[in-house]
Amino acid sequence: METHQIKKRGIDLTEKELGQMHYLNREIEKLNEELSWMECKSMIKSPLLTGMPFGTGVSDKTADYAVRMEEIRELIDLSIKKLLHTRAEIERFLQEIEDPELRLIIRLRSINNLGWQEIGEELGMDRRTASRKYQRFCEEKLA
């Protein structure tokens, strides 16, 4: 996707920035999946009975997991803050678009993260029509 600069009464966004919420939501989803997996993983393992000697290194896997889980929680918090900041920027940008249909198309795409088929169904139009209106808006507002 090309990066089109969109300027409207002093608020600058790019087409790429309009799509950032999708990726931030996916990032948060994946981090939550990883955290859930780690929370469910058992730290108790059966002994390995090979008859061979094993190393005497000291390792605390439980503490390592706890540290990693806390790091993931911090990443989730940071991503949520970025998501909220991005949403606020897009909301300010949307308030300056005069056409309510276009504003809704951009909202459904950028904030609600809907696909073109879903947007078309929501608005009672063909998915290509919704997509074209979005693209035309982006192309007309190049810096």
Start-end of H helices in 1-143:
15-18, 20-40, 61-95, 100-110, 116-123, 127-140
Q: Which amino acid is at 50?
A: T
Distance (Å, rounded) from C-alpha 38 to C-alpha 114? 30
Name which of 12, 16, 21 is nearest 3 in CA terms: 16
pLDDT tens per residue across span 111-132: 998 999 999 999 999 999 999 9
Report helix, strand or coil for 21. helix
pLDDT tens per residue across span 19-54: 888 899 999 999 999 999 988 876 666 665 666 666
pLDDT of residue 143: 43
**Annotated domain spans of the chain:** 5-41+62-140
Q: Structure tokens of 14?
A: 């790019």
